[in-house]
Amino acid sequence: MAPILLWLVMVLCLLISVVKYIMGIILKVAFPSTKIKKDYSYQPRVSVLMPCFNEGKTVYETIESISKSKYPSDRFEVIAQDDCSVDDSYEWMLKAQRDFTNIRIRTGKNAVNSGKARTVCNALELSNAEVIISIDSDCIFHEDAITELTACFSEPRVGSVGGRVGVRNPNDSVITAIQAVIYYSAFQLYKVPENWTRSVCCISGCLFAIRRDLLSEIEPAIRARHWFGIPVNQGEDRFLTHQTLLRGYGTYINNDALCWTTVPNNISVLFKQQLRWRRSIVRDFFYTLRTLPQHVWKLHPNTVFTLVLTPLGAIVAFLVVLTMLSSDPLAWAGPLPLVGALGIGAVLTWVIKKYSSREALANPLAFGAYVAWSMVSSLLLTPLALCTMDSADWGTRTKEEPEVPLGNTAH
């Protein structure tokens, strides 16, 4: 059996997660006043920064969706910055620039491959807007997304605002179905208590709005990030959110600001994506521990609990299983895990189908895999992330350099 202290820590972490989901449901139903007050008359100048690496035609589709925005076209622009893609991503950027003339589109290209975080910083140099929206180059955006994000800055102490990310391909496979559940529960339930205290700990990089002055203040720290001397190019969304909170600003998720992303539909790509995300969580965890007094005195307890206990629970769960298997390999066996997975799957199926048409899944039994994936991610990804913290690539977007160069991209 695992030491009793490990069990207690793991149970505490799991209990807090469960309480956050329950509080999310209660706050959504009983206390709608906890939502932010939006001012739709506020229409600042906006720059939509789109870092790109090996996305191909997807960048064209993303810019096309932005071009359909209802936000005044003379009040926003798109700045697409390519990070030395080895495919035809840059050509698709230029085609979008030619085709969607109703909005201002500017394109740029890094001199050397720099990673997503520094590509965002390079794109920022081309902007002088009041609000910056950083996006992923593989998302489709609702026509009201920009309007919904900017309206939230009516609260002067809100520094960063995110939108809700949905899944474009929930029925591709069981793997995409699992992710649909994760995305839905994260935005519609888990982050609601964080919204209540304006202390969301991670705003998704798919749709991330921030005050220009605040981003300019944080930019040097983004460029200087490193892990024992190795530059860190990943997890800029979590880092930006964290830095926003430490500077005394609030963070918020506006679930009315919508975008949809295509999630991995095979185990290999999903594993790379989740491993990249887990590295970001672990880095953030160690940074929080290293500066814990600053967090305790400056941040809301809700924030500190989330920053510390969520990753700590995954690490401790791995240690618990490791000690159990070393002393009693069959201690975990039995029908309960299967019954539990199917039970949770049935509940989640009902919730998703009732409250979200975009994420409604064709096969309800697919939800049974949700718990299994949660166990795998905690027990396998966390230790692997700890052993590969020096990774600095784009992960799922990495491609081999083609033998025959693409067409001339000098423009």
Output the domain CATH number for residue 43: 3.90.550.10
Residue 133: closest CA among 242, 249, 257, 279: 257
104 and 193 in a single domain? The answer is: no
> Between β-strands 139-141 and 131-135, what pairing exists: parallel, antiparallel or unpaired?
unpaired
256 against 362, higher pLDDT? 256
51 and 172 in a single domain? The answer is: no
Domain count, the chain: 2
Question: Among 87-101, 328-342, 383-397, which range has the highest average pLDDT?
Answer: 87-101
161 and 286 in a single domain? The answer is: yes
88 and 171 in a single domain? The answer is: no
30 and 134 in a single domain? The answer is: no
Is pLDDT at 23 greater than 60 in this prediction? yes
pTM over 0.85: no
Instruction: State the alpha helices, DSSP H only, in 114-235.
Output: 116-124, 145-151, 174-185, 192-196, 212-224
Q: Which amino acid is at 177?
A: A
232 and 251 in a single domain? The answer is: yes
- Is residue 149 included in any domain, yes or no? no
161 and 296 in a single domain? The answer is: yes
Residue 389: predicted pLDDT: 77
Is pLDDT at 276 greater than 60 in this prediction? yes
**Which whole number is the average pLDDT over 192-210?**
92
Residue 5: closest CA among 311, 315, 320: 320
CA-based radius of gyration for the chain = 21
Is-contact 241 160, C-beta < 8 A?
yes
> DSSP strand E in 139-266: where?
139-141, 158-167, 207-211, 226-227, 230-231, 250-261
**What is d(CA 210, CA 196) in angstroms, rounded to the nearest whole number?**
19
First-to-last alpha carbon distance for the chain, in angstroms, is 65
Q: Which sign does the torsion angle of CA 55, 61, 62, 64 carry?
A: positive
Is pLDDT at 264 greater than 80 in this prediction? yes
168 and 312 in a single domain? The answer is: yes
- Is residue 244 included in any domain, yes or no? yes
216 CB-near residues (< 8 Å, 6+ apart): 124
Is pLDDT at 398 greater than 60 in this prediction? no
- DSSP bridge partners of 209: 133, 161
Q: What is the layout of strands, in order, in the sheet containing 139-141?
A: 104-109, 76-82, 46-52, 131-135, 207-211, 158-167, 250-261, 139-141
pLDDT tens per residue across span 126-139: 999 999 999 999 89
Distance of CA 50 to the CA centre of its chain: 15
- Is residue 145 included in any domain, yes or no? no
What number of CA atoms fall less than 13 Å from residue 80's CA on the CB side?
A: 30
16 and 77 in a single domain? The answer is: no
pLDDT tens per residue across span 49-82: 999 999 999 999 999 999 999 999 999 999 999 9
- Is residue 206 included in any domain, yes or no? no
- Is residue 377 included in any domain, yes or no? yes
Supply the range of the domain harboring residue 106: 36-140
Residue 387: predicted pLDDT: 82
Question: Among 31-35, 216-220, 299-303, 362-366, which range has the highest average pLDDT?
Answer: 216-220
**Which whole number is the average pLDDT over 161-166?**
94
Structure tokens that stand for 397 in this block = 């977007």
Residue 18: closest CA among 374, 407, 398, 397: 374
Give the position of tokens 């085709």. 99
Q: Which sign does the torsion angle of CA 200, 279, 56, 107 carry?
A: positive
> Between β-strands 230-231 and 131-135, what pairing exists: parallel, antiparallel or unpaired?
unpaired
Structure tokens that stand for 223 in this block = 């460029």
pLDDT tens per residue across span 232-255: 877 889 999 999 999 999 999 999
Residue 190: predicted pLDDT: 81
192 and 237 in a single domain? The answer is: yes
- Is residue 301 included in any domain, yes or no? yes
Give the least confident one: 129-133, 263-267, 341-345.
341-345
Mean per-residue pLDDT over the chain, rounded: 82
Residue 397: closest CA among 10, 54, 107: 54
Structure tokens that stand for 264 in this block = 């991995």
Residue 375: predicted pLDDT: 63
193 and 128 in a single domain? The answer is: no
Give the position of tokens 């206390």. 31
Based on DSSP, count helices (H) and strands (E) in the chain, helices before strands: 15, 10
- Is residue 211 included in any domain, yes or no? no
Domain final residue pick, 110, 140, 170: 140
Q: What confidence tier does 384 reach under pLDDT thresholds 50, 70, 90?
A: confident
160 and 293 in a single domain? The answer is: yes
Q: What confidence tier does 180 reach under pLDDT thresholds 50, 70, 90?
A: confident
**What is d(CA 359, CA 168) in angstroms, rounded to the nearest whole number?**
8
- Is residue 147 included in any domain, yes or no? no
25 CB-near residues (< 8 Å, 6+ apart): 189
Cα angle, residue 161 at apex, residues 159 and 164 outer, rounded to 5°: 170
Compute, in degrees rounded to 10, the torsion defined by CA atoms 227, 394, 216, 159.
-100
Distance of CA 305 to the CA centre of its chain: 19
Cα angle, residue 280 at apex, residues 127 and 181 outer, rounded to 5°: 95
